[in-house]
Amino acid sequence: MADKNYIYAVARIRAHELGLLSGAVLDQLLSAPDEETAVKLLQEKGWGTGDAGADTVNVDAMLTRETEKTWELIKELVDDESVFNVFLYEKDYHNLKAAIKETCTAGEHPGIYREGGTVDVQLMKDAIEAREFDRLPGHMAAVAKEATDTLLKTRDGQLCDVIVDKAALSAIYEASKQSGSELLALYGELTVATADIKIAVRGQKTGKTREFLSEALAPCESVSVDRLAEAASGSAEAIYAYLESTGYGEAVEELKLSPAAFERWCDNRMIRAIKPQLYQSFGIGPLAAYILARENEIKTVRIILSGKRNGFPDEFIRGRVREMYV
């Protein structure tokens, strides 16, 4: 799949890249006096449902629509979009956690599921309720059973989360490596490594044991699970010292600042990693980069609009704004 040239698709993506938000547009959004003005600016850029004359705009619906537009385009461009499932596993495993907890707590909790995954939410709920785990995709069946059994036996929601989250990271990692695409492999590596760092930092702050951390961290090439777990079972300085010896030394300063600064660094690092795809004319890389760029700009717009809604100062919001792909 990843070996195909995707010439037609990349040419269309090149045209769509012109519609991506640039740093200048983000400055305009940040300069907007309120959320309403910022939303109007976005509507002028073609965001939302196209009903620019509407008096009130549901921001969540607008952002959801933007995500849908991206995937509608990708589905139009490629015969088999399964190579991009790696971007959707996060939603699938979130839904898996939600379905397991809903089943084990015997109640309906609308709004806890995320749309747009690769597995139908109802199928997932039915499979877990009926304990027919084989109905789930192969990479999910065993972990669904393990997490459900663990939650039923221990009633420990965190343990259930750890099992599913690690499986999600492993699924992303495996799928990205098997894709045959250098960019998707890089995405998998960065996703797992940065997630491991977050887990280690949180684990250190909450005093988790080395054994717990070893169970929670997912293996990848650029970070040693053993050394990170060892460091995280000690002090924050031990984590920083270990990270300095890896390719994530730059993250240390951000980690010292705040978790939000580290999140921003992770997203910016991903965007910098995909930027060379702007100059690639062949292969799946530019398509994957476009999906990531769109996710990044939707996330950034959400941060700006949320900041405006809550009346945060511009500088505070600016500190959380991500770098753009174009």
Partner 1 sequence: MASTGLFWALMGASFAGLFAGMGSALGVGKAGQAAAGVVTEDPSKFSKVLILQLLPGTQGIYGLLIAFITLSQIGVLGGGASDMSLAKGLLYFAACLPIAFVGLVSGNEQGKAAVSAIGLASKKPDQFGKSMIFPAMVETYAILALLISILAVFGVAGINI
Q: Which residues bind partner 1 (CB under 8 A)?
A: 5, 7-12, 14-18, 281-282
Q: Which is nearer to partner 1, 42 or 287 (CB)?
A: 287
As measured in angstroms, the least distance from the Cβ of 295 to partner 1 is: 21
Tokens 């909450």 label which residue?
A: 206
DSSP result, 150-192: HHHHH--HHHHHHHHHHHHHHHHHHHHHHT--HHHHHHHHHHH
Q: Which is nearer to partner 1, 48 or 286 (CB)?
A: 286
Q: Which is nearer to partner 1, 14 or 205 (CB)?
A: 14
As measured in angstroms, the least distance from the Cβ of 283 to partner 1 is: 11
Q: What is the rounded CA–CA span in Å between residue 213 and residue 233?
A: 8
Q: What is the rounded CA–CA span in Å between residue 240 and residue 248?
A: 9
Q: Which is nearer to partner 1, 76 or 132 (CB)?
A: 76
Secondary structure letter of residue 19 according to DSSP: T
In the numeric block, which tokens belong to residue 206?
A: 């909450």
Give the sign of the dihedral formed by CA 41, CA 46, CA 48, CA 49: positive
As measured in angstroms, the least distance from the Cβ of 6 to partner 1 is: 9
Q: Which is nearer to partner 1, 282 or 316 (CB)?
A: 282
DSSP result, 58-106: -HHHHHHHHHHHHHHHHHHH-S-GGGGGGGTHHHHHHHHHHHHHHHHTT
Q: What is the rounded CA–CA span in Å between residue 166 and residue 218?
A: 6
Q: What is the rounded CA–CA span in Å between residue 140 and residue 96?
A: 9
CA atoms within 13 A on the CB side of 8: 6
Q: What is the rounded CA–CA span in Å between residue 14 and residue 8?
A: 10
Q: Nearest 5°: CA angle at 278, between 186 and 12?
A: 110
Q: What is the rounded CA–CA span in Å between residue 208 and residue 131?
A: 31
Q: Which is nearer to partner 1, 10 or 143 (CB)?
A: 10
Q: Which is nearer to partner 1, 7 or 260 (CB)?
A: 7
